[in-house]
Each structure stands twice: as structure tokens, then as C-alpha cells.
Amino acid sequence: MKAIVNVFLKAGVLDSQGKAVHHALESIHFSNVEDVRVGKQIILKINESDEKKAMADVTKMCEELLANTVIEDYTIEIIK
């Protein structure tokens, strides 16, 4: 089973990396981009056959290590 975790800054938290990418895109004439937010994706291969257990385990991983839940949100997708 595979888990795909996307971690991104919460709304309202300044994304300086996103601002830098936005500025760079404008400088090479992509002026139609309104905003950029940069996050990270973590792909985990999980040795678990129970999808609910896998989701619970990955949620705990996010809460304890993979995401800084003070300033970041995350989504989890479980793929069989």
C-alpha cells in the first residue's frame, strides 16, 4: 500500500519560497500567475493491508513528525 502526503503552509502563513517562485515566473514573462504556494510531497510505502489502519498510522506520522501542525496542513491519500 502507498500513502501520498502533501504538506503545505496554512492559509495566512507567509510563503517566502512561493513569493520567490512567483517573482521569478513574472521575471520570465509568466505574468498570468496570480499566486504561488510551495509545499512538499512525501510518498510512503506501507506494509499494511487494512486501509483504515494505514490512514491512522500515516495521520499519526504527520502529527508527530512529517508536518509542523502549528503552521502547516496536510492531506493524505492512500493507494492500494
pLDDT digits (tens, 9 = 90+) for 39-66: 999 999 999 999 999 999 999 999 999 9
pLDDT band at 8 (very low <50, low <70, confident <90, very high): very high
Dihedrals φ, ψ of 4, to 5°? -110, 120
Domain extent listing, the chain: 2-79
Cβ(5)–Cβ(53) under 8 Å? no
pLDDT band at 70 (very low <50, low <70, confident <90, very high): very high
The confidence score (pLDDT) of residue 36 equals: 97
Q: How far apart are CA 46 and CA 54, in angstroms?
A: 7
Q: Residue 42: left (phi > 0), alpha (psi -120 to 50), or beta?
A: beta
Fold that domain 2-79 belongs to in CATH: Mth169; Chain: A , (3.30.1280)
| Helices vs. strands in the chain: H and E counts, helices first | 2, 3
Task: Tell me what percent of the residues of the chain surpass a pLDDT of 90.
Answer: 99
C-alpha cell at 20: 520567490
pTM, two decimal places: 0.90
